[in-house]
């Protein structure tokens, strides 16, 4: 129900507002994540990120690319089932 309401709201928003909300989310989640990890973890992430960047990797923020929660849950369920099947086979 929440996802349906959220999708309807997102369709009503203009591109400028979607971009603004999307970047605000990234800033907030980055801040939250960075406050949850130790200094050593932050240094490791910075080092690995720098390595990726120096080897040509880059981040591209795509505003309209959203995966419905239902797809995410069904994929997670599928992966768990595969894991369980492998465990049962003893592989």
DSSP string covering 32-82, please? HHHHHS-HHHHHHHHHHHHHHHHTT------TT----HHHHHHHHHHHHHH
Lowest-pLDDT range of 36-40, 45-49, 74-78: 74-78
User: Which carries the bigger pLDDT value, residue 18 or residue 53?
Assistant: 53
Report the C-alpha gap between 53 and 69 in whole angstroms. Answer: 30
Q: Are 3 and 68 in contact (CB under 8 A)?
A: yes
pTM: 0.36
């Amino acid at each position: 129900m929440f996802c349906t309401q959220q999708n309807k709201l997102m369709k009503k928003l203009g591109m400028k507002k979607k971009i603004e909300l999307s970047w605000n989310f990234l800033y907030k989640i980055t801040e939250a994540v960075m406050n949850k990890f130790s200094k050593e973890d932050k240094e490791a992430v910075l080092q690995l990120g720098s390595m990726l960047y120096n080897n040509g990797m880059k981040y591209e923020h795509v505003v309209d690319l959203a995966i419905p929660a239902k797809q995410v849950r069904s994929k997670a369920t599928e992966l768990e089932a595969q894991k369980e099947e492998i465990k049962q086979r003893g592989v």
